Amino acid sequence: AAENKFAKFLLSCLKCCFWCLEKFIKFLNRNAYIMIAIYGTNFCTSARNAFFLLMRNIIRVAVLDKVTDFLFFLGKLLIVGSVGILAFFFFTHRIKLVEDTAPSLNYYWVPILTVIVGSYLIAHGFFSVYGMCVDTLFLCFCEDLERNDGSPERPYYMSPELSEILLKGHLEPSKSADSQG
């Protein structure tokens, strides 16, 4: 019986380790493919460069991750909620404009739940593409910060709007230096 408990404990530890490894590899894969698209280097080089770039900007990564996760959650919730409410009104004949086209149902919860699940899957697909765009722009932003300093010799390549939003603390000293010189 003791060996069985130990085997269960060992199996639980291995599950935890493999779960962490899977999350890390998914994170690394996504960013490695972004670096491959930007630079055209091989997978291992891109994965290493992406990993070290993100580790040098770990606080920005954490903030961006949490903010985008929250905004994507709100977006999905808004889409699924509004589609669910519209489906409810449609199937219960409460929308006078389409009252004639709505089918007459005795039990309308199954089609409403089907529409809600379908809208979630579609919203998730769109937000996944948008999330990849956010990650790509973030990696480009980090690269731009490392390669350029905002001086006339090495200006930032990011848009002025993006630099105004993300570089508030970094631009203050250079503005004061420009006004003195």
What are 146-175's pLDDT values in tens digits?
Answer: 998 888 898 888 888 888 877 765 554 444
Give the DSSP letter of residue 86: H
Q: Are 91 and 107 in contact (CB under 8 A)?
A: no
What are 17-52's pLDDT values in tens digits?
Answer: 999 999 888 888 999 999 999 999 999 999 999 999
Q: Are 91 and 112 in contact (CB under 8 A)?
A: yes
Average pLDDT, the chain: 87
Which one is predicted more confidently, 180 or 140? 140
